Each structure stands twice: as structure tokens, then as C-alpha cells.
Amino acid sequence: MATPNTAPAIETGRIAQHRTYLMCRPEHFTVSYRINPWMEPANPTDTALAVRQWQSLYDTYIALGHDVHLIDPIEGLPDMVYTANGGFVIDGVAYGAKFRFQERVPEGPAFMEWFGENGFQVVDPVEVNEGEGDFLLVGSKVLAGTGFRSTGDSHRELRDVFGKEVVSLTLVDPRFYHLDTAIAVLDPVEGPGGVERANIAYLPHAFDEASRAVLEDLYPDAILVSDADGAVFGLNSASDGRNVIISPRAKGFEAQLRERGYTPVLVDLSELLLGGGGIKCCTLELRR
């Protein structure tokens, strides 16, 4: 069970920023098809356990003072719990998702409907993209993954929609098929006076050589996470700039975060890992 640290920020110098998230209760969660190497339809899943674990993540966000909105789960869409894939939202504009695999295609319009009903300006996507699963806002830039799900063309579309610098990165290990399984954004915002103090943690081996070189250049202070911690979805985490919600199995990453003055908060989503998702996958940031 999570034990959020709500002690004053002054202790570590890290400042927690308020976040607004979209989540989806996994009432219809199961593994009935296989679209990533983690999914094994022959293995049983426990939906009640998935809901309990999901609830502990929800409760953790609330205890940390964040706002969480909910989208209704739809029967027959077992992956809808992974709301990170539902779109990408900045400044009240929601760029919709267009899923790679048929099984998840109906989720795209369902999320766009929610965005529209909740006051977001919706941009209907032309290109295949899986939202915040592959797009991560880091300071003024968007890091964008390709290789397995979102296409390179979606990176261009993303640039046109938001007018931000988009940095394309290529994923090469099928276990880390979305960018949010290989990169954790620790400090998503820029520091005072426009100083870029945004930082990330990442799993070097999940990327091709050219992408690794780009990451080394952009983030010389990044935390490099071990293969062991990557393999338990340690990087699939959510940070408010101070508290970093991570898997309890990512022991090395937990220690690295502490050394840097972050407060790791441990939440176990083992049942949702059967679908190939973790903490970040279940969390979509809503930026107004």
C-alpha cells in the first residue's frame, strides 16, 4: 500500500506540483488478445485484484493532493484502463489517439468524446498514434516514440498541432513498445526564468544508437535505469516533481531517486502488468 510523503518540500528542495489526471477503473480488465509480449491470453487474470490495485494508485494521487477525473470503462475494451494511450493533452487541446491494433481502435473515439464533453478542444488524428504512451512533455519539448506503435508521421502531426519542438526517438525492444515504458519524466516543467531544469530517467537499451545519443546530449543528468528495473516496468511511473510513484519491484531505481532527493512512493500494479501496463499507462495527464 502506498505511503505518500506529504512533508514540506523544503527538506529535499524538490517541489511537488499539482497534477490533474484521467483514469479508468479496470472493471472489464482481462487479457483476451495479445498485442505486446507481456500479454498471455492463456493465463488467468483477476479483475477484482486489478481493481483493488488500481484503487490504491487512485487513492495515492488523491492523498498527494492531485485531481483525478474518471472515464467510464466500456465492456469489451479491456485495455481502456491504460488511459495514457487515450490522447495527448496540452493547454486544453486534446490530440486524439488512433490505435495501431484493431482491438483498441474503438477506444480512440471514446476518449475523444470524453475530452469534448469535458471542455477540451479535440483534434481528430489522421496518423496512427497512442497518445501519452508515446508522447512525453518534458519542459518545452515533446519526446516522441516510434518503432512499435505511433508512426513517425504522427510526430509531424503532433508538431503541427501543438507547435512545439518534437524529438523523435526509436524504440527497439518489443517489451518496451511504448515510450512511457522506457522513459520516466521526473521534472516535467521548466525552472524559474526559463531555465530548463526538466529531467528524465530512462532505459538506454530500449533505444537505437542514434536515439541514445540524442538523449545523452539533451539530458546529461538523466538517471540511467538498469535492465532489471526496466524489466519490472520501473520507468512506467508518474512524478509530480517531488513524489515519484513507482513499482515496488524497481529497487535500484528507488535508491537512485532517493539519492537525487525525490520521494519514491511504491504502488504495486502486478495484475495490470499482465496486460503490459503499469502506473504511467493507467494515468493520462490533463493540462488546461
Interface residue with ligand ARG, options 173, 275, 279, 286 (CB under 6 A): 275
- Answer whether 254's CB lies under 8 Å from 266's CB: yes
Check residue 35 for interaction with ligand ARG (CB under 6 A): yes
Quick one: three-class SS letters along 238-249?
EECCCEEEECCC
Half-sphere exposure of 170 (CA within 13 A, CB side): 8
Check residue 157 for interaction with ligand ARG (CB under 6 A): no
Distance CA 14, CA 44 (A): 41
Q: How far is the CB of 114 from ligand ARG (least distance, A)?
A: 17
Beta strands in 92-162 (DSSP E): 93-96, 121-123, 135-138, 141-146
Nearest to 149 by CA among 135, 166, 129: 129
Check residue 276 for interaction with ligand ARG (CB under 6 A): yes
- Total residues binding ligand ARG (CB under 6 A): 16
Check residue 240 for interaction with ligand ARG (CB under 6 A): no
Nearest to 123 by CA among 100, 151, 98: 98
- Answer whether 237's CB lies under 8 Å from 256's CB: no
Contact window for ligand ARG (CB under 6 A) among 195-203, 249-257, 258-266, 276-284: 276-284
Check residue 87 for interaction with ligand ARG (CB under 6 A): no
Interface residue with ligand ARG, options 86, 125, 133, 147 (CB under 6 A): 133
Q: How far is the CB of 19 from ligand ARG (least distance, A)?
A: 16
| Beta pairing class for 238-239 and 223-224 | unpaired
Check residue 281 for interaction with ligand ARG (CB under 6 A): yes
Check residue 45 for interaction with ligand ARG (CB under 6 A): no
Residues with catalytic function: 178, 281
Instruction: By CB under 6 A, name the binding residues for ligand ARG.
Output: 35-36, 39, 79, 82, 84-85, 104, 133, 178, 180-181, 275-277, 281
